[in-house]
Structure 1
Amino acid sequence: MPKPKPLTYRDAGVDIDAKAEALARLKPLIRSTFDRYVASDLGAFGSLYSVPEGYQSPVLVSSVDSVGTKVKIATMIGRHDTVGQDIVFHCGNDILVQGARPLFFMDYLAAHKLQGEFILSVAEGLVAGCRRLSCSLIGGETAEMPDIYAPGEYDLVGFILGLVERDETVTGDSIRPGDVLIGLGSDGLHTNGYTLARKVAFEIAGWPPDEYLEELGCTISAELMRIHRPYGPAVLPLLDEFAVHGMAHITGGGIPDNLLRPLPEGCRALVRRGTWPEPPIFGLLQRLGNLPADDMLRTFNMGIGFILVVPAEQADPVRARLEMAGEQVYGIGEIVAGERSVQII
C-alpha cells in the first residue's frame, strides 16, 4: 500500500506563512498609533498598556462589537478599507456614553481566506479609526477558517477600553423632567440594520451594487457603505464644561431601545419626530420593502446617531459648541415626568 502524501496545514486550507508575511508588512502601520502608554510591542502573548497618570479614581469602560453584515457589501464591491473605521467608531461611541476617553483598541478578523492585500486594507481602516479617536491599536487576532466561512466571507470584531474618573461617569441617574434631548445627525445606517437593508436593496429591488439612485445622489453601495460617524471628538470636550445628564448611542434597537437605557425611574423621554431631517435612504427602504413604521424605528437610527440629555438652560450653548465642532445638531424632544419609557410622537 503506497504511503500517503504528507498533509500540511496549507493543504488543509490555512496558509500560516502567507498570513505571517502580511502581518509583518502591517507592523509599522499599527505602531504609528502607539502612544507613550503602550508598554509592549506587537507579537507579545498579551498586550501591555500603562494606566495614564493624573486620575484620582479611574474607572475602566469597555465595549466589544462586530461590523455585522455590512461586510457583505464590502465584499460585493471589493473594498474593505472602511469597515475598520466602522468598528472603531462604533465601539468608541459606546464607551463615550459613559464619558470615557478611549485608551486602546484590539481587533479580531476571521475569514475564509486571509490574503495579504485584504488584511492590509482592513488594517488601514482600523489604523485610521484609531488615529481619529487618539487611541492605540495594541494588538489583535486573525483566523483563517475555510470550514466556517464561505469563500469571500469574513467577520470583523473590535474591543475598546477607555477610562473615566469615577465621579465624572455619565450614568443617566441625574436625568430629570425638564431636561432637553439634543440629537446628533447620523451618516446613514452606520453599522445596524444591514441584513434588512441588503434584503430590500439587493433582493426585493434587485439592484446591483453600482446602481445609481437619483434620490440618494449616489450608488446604493456608496450609500450603504457610509462610515459610522464618531461623536467622541465633538462630545468629549463638552463634558468638562457642561452638565451632561445622560447620553445614548443609537444602534440596534433604534431610538426607542437605546434612549431608554440611561433613563431613571419616573422619567419619560418625548421624542418629536420631524424635528430633524431623515436621510432619504430610510424612506426609500421603507417604501420598497413595505416596512412597518415600528420596525423602522427599532431597526435603524433614522438619521440620529447619538443623543445627549442636558439641562434646558445649557441646551443652547451645548448646541452651539457641537455645531462649531462640525456636527448636525437638533433639538429633538424633552424629558417629562412619567413612567420610564420612550415615546416618539
Structure 2
Amino acid sequence: MNKSSLSYKDSGVDVYKSNMFVKRLKKIAKTTFRPEVIQGPGGFAALCSIPKKYHEPILVSSTDGVGTKIKLAMQFKCYDTIGIDVVAMCVNDIIVLGAEPVFFLDYYATSYIKIDAVSSIINGITEGCLKAGCSLVGGETAEMPGIYNDEDYDIAGFCVGVVEKTKIIDGRKITDGDVLIALGSSGPHANGYSLIHKIINDSKTDLQKTLIRGRPLMECLLQPTRIYVKNILTLIEDIDVHAIVHLTGGGFWDNIPRVLPNHTQAILEESTWEWPEIFKWIQKSGNISRFDMYHTFNCGVGMIIALHPSLVDKALQAMADSGEIAWKIGMIKTSSSNDRVVINP
C-alpha cells in the first residue's frame, strides 16, 4: 500500500479507478490508527512512536503467513477471512510475550491485481487489526506475472508490538504445580492445511455438500483464526501469568516445550475437553493417529496459559467475562523425562 506498491500499468486496470482504489485503502487503514501513528500508507515508509505509558519499552516483532489455507480461499474466492488470518497469526505470536501489538504491515503478491479481491483482503486485515488493537500502517501489493499464474496470490504479514521489560512473559516463572488453562480455538486456524488438502483430494470430498453440524465443511475450514490479544492483555493486567503458548505449526508436542524451563513437564488431561467436530472429521477421514493429530493441529485449543494454582478461578472467570471458552487443561510438574509434554487420554 506504499506509494510504489500499486502499479497497474501491466494489469489493464483503469488509472482513475486505481487512484480511487488507493484512496479507499488509505481511508480503510486510517480506521485502525492508534494515536502513535505519525505517517501511515502513502509514503515510502510509515512512522509510529512508542506508546508513552512504557518506562523501559522492548520492541517485539513477528512475521507470518497463512500457509496452504490460502488454496481453499482461492478455490472459493473467499478473501476477507484470509485477511483476518494473516493478522491473527502475527499478533497471537506477539501476545505470548505479554506484548501489545502496535502496528501491522501486509504483503500481497499476485499475477495481476484484481481490485475487488485486494479490497476484500484489506477489509479482512483491517478487521483483524481492529480486533487486535493495532494500526495498519502500510504494506506492499505486487504484480508478479510469470511468478504467479492466473488468479493465484500469496499473503504475509509483519507486526511490531511493545512490552515493558519487567513484564516480559517468557516461561522463566514456571514452577512445579503451576496450572495450565486452555483457550478454545475457532477451528484449525491456519495450520495443518497441507494435510487437510491431501485428505480432501484422497477422499474426493465435496466441501460444499459435506456438513459439519449443519455447516458446509468449506465454511468450517475457512473459519478465521481467533485473535486473543485484547482478552489476554486484560488478563495480564491483573494476574501474574507465568507463560503463554500459541498452538500453531508443530501442535502440542513442539510449541509447549518452547516455554518450559529445564526439568519441567506439561501434563495435559484429554478428558477436560472434547475435540470440535472439524477435528473429528479430519482424524476419521484421514485415518490420522492421535499423536499426529496433536503434532499437526490445535484440536480445539488455541492458547495455553500457565499460572499459580491460587489464580486459576480468577483467570477462568476473567476469560469467561471476556467471551473466551476457557478451562483447566493440566499442570506443570518437575521431571527429568525427555517427554516434555504428556497428554493423558
Give yes or no for TM over 0.5: yes
**Which residue identity is paired with 1:153?**
D
- Residue number among 257, 264, 267 corresponding to 1:270 in the alignment: 267
- Counterpart of 1:44? 43
Q: Which residue of 1 aligns with 2:210?
A: 212
Q: Distance in 1 between matches of 2:8 and 2:322?
A: 50
Q: Are the equivalent residues in 2 in contact too, given 1:216–1:223 (CA < 8 A)?
A: no
Residues 239-298 of structure 1: per-residue CA shift (max 9 Å, x gap)? 121110001000001111111101001211011112111011112111111122221111
SS at match of 2:112: coil
Structure 1's consecutive aligned runs of 4 or more residues displaced over 2 angstroms after TM superposition are: 9-25
1:237 equivalent in alignment to 2:229 = no
Q: Distance in 2 between matches of 1:157 and 1:20?
A: 24
Higher alpha-carbon deviation: 257-266 or 289-298: 289-298
What CA deviation, in whole Å up to 9, does each residue of 1:173-219 have, x standing for no partner?
A: 01011000100110000010111112212x12212331231x43211
What is aligned with 2:3? none
Q: Secondary structure at the match of 2:158?
A: strand
- 2:24 equivalent in structure 1: 25
CA deviation after TM superposition for structure 1 residue 23, in Å: 2.5
Q: Residues 114, 131 of structure 1: CA spacing in aligned structure 2 closer, same or farther, 3 A cutoff?
A: same
Question: What's the CA shift for 1:16?
Answer: 9.4
- Deviation of the 1:135 alpha carbon: 0.9
Offset of residue 336 of structure 1:
0.5
Structure 1 length-normalised TM: 0.93
Instruction: Give the distance between the partners of 2:170 and 2:163, measured in 1 at CA.
Output: 12
2:284 alignment counterpart: 287
Moved more, 272-281 or 247-256: 272-281
Write the mapping of 1:99-138 to structure 2, written as runs, cut at 5 A.
99-138=98-137
- Output the CA distance in 1 between the equivalents of 2:140 and 2:275: 38
Name the SS for the 2:317 alignment partner. Answer: helix
Q: Secondary structure at the match of 1:330?
A: strand
**C-alpha deviation, 1:51, in angstroms:** 1.2
Q: Give 1:133-172 correspondences, 5 Å limit.
A: 133-172=132-171
Cα drift, residue 10 of structure 1: 7.3
Partner of 1:305: 302
User: In the alignment, is residue 84 of structure 1 matched against residue 88 of structure 2?
Assistant: no
Residue segments in structure 2 that go unaligned for 5+ positions in a row: 1-6
Q: Is the 8 A contact 2:26 2:42 kept in 1?
A: no
* Residues 1:196 and 1:216: Cα distance change in structure 2 (over 3 Å): farther
Residues 19 and 114, structure 1, Cα contact 8 Å, conserved in 2: no
Looking at structure 2, the residues matched to 24 and 74 of structure 1 have their Cα atoms a distance apart, in angstroms, of 26
Q: Over the residues paired in the alignment, what is the CA RMSD in angstroms?
A: 1.8
Amino acid at match of 2:225: H
- Give the Cα–Cα distance (whole angstroms) in 2 for the partners of residues 165 and 287 of structure 1: 45
Structural mapping, 1:223-234, within 5 Å: 223-234=220-231
TM-superposed CA distance for 1:19, in Å, is: 5.4
Identity %: 38
Q: For residue 236 of structure 1, give the secondary structure of its aligned residue in structure 2.
A: helix
1:130 CA drift (Å):
0.8
The one-letter code matched in structure 2 to 1:186 is S
Task: Name the amino acid aligned to 1:179.
Answer: D
SS at structure 2 position matched to 1:284: helix
> Are the aligned partners of 2:8 and 2:113 in contact in 1 as well (CA < 8 Å)?
no
1:69-111 alpha-carbon deviations (Å, 9 max, x no partner): 1111111111201111111122111100000011000000011
The code of the aligned residue for 2:308 comes to: P
